[in-house]
């Protein structure tokens, strides 16, 4: 009987591996904008950006019919401001970013960029306007230079170098014997987490989008690297409209405004100081994280 089970076990493993592969592939197709649910309207114009504000106007959305995730969410990020979105796990933070990128359309309400409904403009123009720095960037098994230039078709070597400087990558590149021509390995494995993230930041700089979405950009890094990367990101976001999706509140305390999501609704919003004074959900999350950080500190001593 044991002998019979072993091949079955193996089969299970192979099945799980394939299934995981499919899930990854589905994710990849979504990223490569082949979502069949969303299509350009015939004759849709390109998004034209003068002042890149972002508005969620009563947005209602669920992935499945019977389960609403965002319940009529409304907020405005004025052009050039740096906003943060926080909230408990499952509150809908990543969903909000996916809707802004139009991986899905809301069931009700509208999302506007510079006054234009994003479902009325071409997806290519929409996606050209938004840069995403994800928590774990996908690098191609190619050179550092290629991975940076990928940000925008036709990017020149000068632009790639300027972006590498902006992302504080030149120190690393100067130390590498092959410089920009250094191969990063499969999925960028020959680079450290922080270096990979800088390549992703440089790629975004080459793209030069008026709107930035920073998705937990610093979650996988140690504190020293994190501080450096954060400083770089803040510089990059300075003259753009940005939305940072964060778990750790310490990284977004200086945002112009913090939107606190809870169960797909805007529970509170304000500056860090205002929200602490309010003594609501944000203050509670802040105190809990401070206590956790203190515990970690004690454990490390």
Q: Which is nearer to ligand ATP, 26 or 189 (CB)?
A: 26
4, 50, 89, 239: which one binds ligand ATP (CB under 6 A): 89
**Cα separation values, 210 from 59, 73, 237, 245, Å:** 23, 23, 9, 17
Question: Nearest distance from residue 286's CB to ligand ATP, in Å?
Answer: 16
Q: Which is nearer to ligand ATP, 125 or 242 (CB)?
A: 242
Looking at 50-58, 84-92, 196-204, 288-296, which segment touches ligand ATP (CB under 6 A)?
A: 84-92
Q: Which is nearer to ligand ATP, 94 or 289 (CB)?
A: 94
Question: Nearest distance from residue 175's CB to ligand ATP, in Å?
Answer: 35
Q: Which is nearer to ligand ATP, 94 or 271 (CB)?
A: 94
52, 92, 188, 209: which one binds ligand ATP (CB under 6 A): 92
- The partner residues of 110 in beta bridges, in order of sequence, read 57
Q: Which is nearer to ligand ATP, 99 or 202 (CB)?
A: 99
Q: Which of 110, 292, 111 is nearest to 211 (CA)?
A: 111
Element containing residue 128 per DSSP (H, E):
helix 123-129
Kindly tell me the sign of the dihedral angle through the C-alpha atoms of 263, 267, 273, 279: negative
**Longest C-alpha distance within the chain, in Å?**
71
What beta strand segments (E) does 114-240 contain?
116-117, 130-133, 211-215
Decide: 123 and 103 in contact? Cβ < 8 Å: no
**Cα separation values, 120 from 40, 107, 174, 294, Å:** 7, 15, 45, 49
Decide: 114 and 276 in contact? Cβ < 8 Å: no
Q: Which of residues 51-70 bind ligand ATP (CB under 6 A)?
A: 63-64, 69
Looking at 15-23, 90-98, 181-189, 221-229, which segment touches ligand ATP (CB under 6 A)?
A: 90-98
- Indicate the SS3 state at residue 249: helix
* Residue 91 contacts ligand ATP per CB under 6 A: yes
* Residue 100 contacts ligand ATP per CB under 6 A: no
Q: Which is nearer to ligand ATP, 34 or 89 (CB)?
A: 89
Looking at 39-47, 92-100, 122-130, 275-283, which segment touches ligand ATP (CB under 6 A)?
A: 92-100
Looking at 71-79, 88-96, 109-117, 154-162, which segment touches ligand ATP (CB under 6 A)?
A: 88-96
* Residue 250 contacts ligand ATP per CB under 6 A: no
Q: What is the dihedral of CA 265, 270, 275, 280, to 10 degrees?
A: -20
Counting residues that bind ligand ATP (by CB under 6 A) gives 12
- The partner residues of 270 in beta bridges, in order of sequence, read 258
Give the interface with ligand ATP as residue ranges (CB under 6 A): 63-64, 69, 87, 89-95, 247
């Amino acid at each position: 009987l044991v002998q019979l089970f072993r091949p079955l076990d193996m089969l299970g493993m192979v099945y799980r591996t394939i299934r995981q592969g499919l899930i990854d592939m589905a994710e990849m197709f979504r990223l490569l904008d082949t979502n069949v649910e969303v299509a350009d309207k015939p004759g849709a114009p390109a998004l034209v950006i003068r002042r890149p504000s972002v508005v969620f106007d009563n947005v209602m959305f669920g992935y499945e019919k019977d389960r609403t995730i965002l319940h009529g969410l409304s907020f405005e990020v004025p052009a050039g401001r740096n906003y943060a979105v926080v909230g408990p796990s499952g509150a809908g933070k990543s969903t909000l970013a996916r809707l802004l990128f139009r991986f899905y359309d809301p069931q009700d309400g509208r999302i506007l960029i510079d006054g234009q409904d994003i479902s009325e403009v071409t997806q290519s123009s929409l996606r050209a306007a938004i840069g995403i720095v994800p928590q774990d960037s996908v690098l191609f098994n190619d050179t550092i230079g290629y991975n940076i230039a990928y940000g925008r078709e036709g990017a020149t070597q000068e632009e790639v170098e300027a972006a590498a400087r902006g992302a504080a990558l030149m120190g690393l590149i100067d130390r590498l014997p092959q410089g920009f021509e250094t191969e990063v390995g499969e999925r960028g494995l020959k680079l450290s987490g922080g270096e990979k993230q800088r390549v992703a930041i440089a790629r975004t700089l080459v793209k030069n989008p008026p709107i930035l979405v920073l998705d937990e950009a610093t979650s996988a890094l140690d504190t020293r690297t994190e501080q450096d990367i954060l400083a770089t990101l803040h510089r990059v976001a300075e003259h753009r409209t940005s939305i940072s999706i964060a778990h750790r509140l310490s990284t977004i305390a200086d945002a112009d405004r913090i939107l606190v999501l809870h169960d797909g609704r805007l529970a509170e919003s304000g500056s860090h100081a205002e929200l602490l004074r309010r003594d609501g959900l944000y203050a509670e999350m802040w105190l809990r994280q401070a206590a956790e950080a203190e515990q970690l500190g004690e454990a490390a001593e």
